[in-house]
Amino acid sequence: MSLPIYPLNPTDQDTLAAQAIHFSLGVTGPSQTITAGPEFSLKYERLFDHPFLYRLSYDYRYGHMSSNVLPDGKIHRHTLGADWVYYRGTHKNTAYIGFGMVAGFASFKEDKETYDELNLPPGSSEVDIKWALGYRLTLGLRMNSVYSLEVVITEISPTFIYRNNLSSENFQIQKEEFRANDFKVSLGYLIEL
């Protein structure tokens, strides 16, 4: 006489694969200290229980440090993440929202101009970025179960460590925490496992 409001067995009609690899390539907007740049992501997704999945990810971002307080230079950031994702939709279109924790690691190579501006001989200072924990919010749309469009907001605040060798026995260390928050738009492709 009447149809059920909710499917009796939603996993039989599930719109996502039980496991998938998700590749995405995007552009990250500028933050307070890092310029805009490309970002590549590799994600492993596993269906937990309808309508939730968990996602483990690796992201690589390239950018240029641009700040009035910190030295300028090239930055390579690697991010590991674990997210919970809630999804709804059909095979044709699926919308999802995710939230998770990230750990950010970065390497930094200051520009030669930095040494010239500070009047330092090359090699007289060491620059490092300490890893940090943060969080990420993901809004996404999946088309035909294989293509994706994502908007990702990441909030992370690593510590910039600048060591200046004053002499063979004396050195000065400056630590500066900075916000490396991101706004990323990416296109992706999924491979079902």
Domain ranges of the chain: 18-192
Q: Which residue has the higher pLDDT, 181 or 148?
A: 148
Share of residues in the chain with pLDDT > 70 (%): 79
18-192 has which CATH code?
2.40.160.20
CB 131 within 8 A of CB 104: yes
pLDDT tens string 16-75: 778 899 999 999 988 777 888 899 999 999 988 888 899 999 999 998 877 666 677 788
pTM passes above 0.85: no
Q: Which amino acid appears at position 74 of this protein?
A: K
pLDDT in tens, 66-86: 766 667 778 888 999 999 999
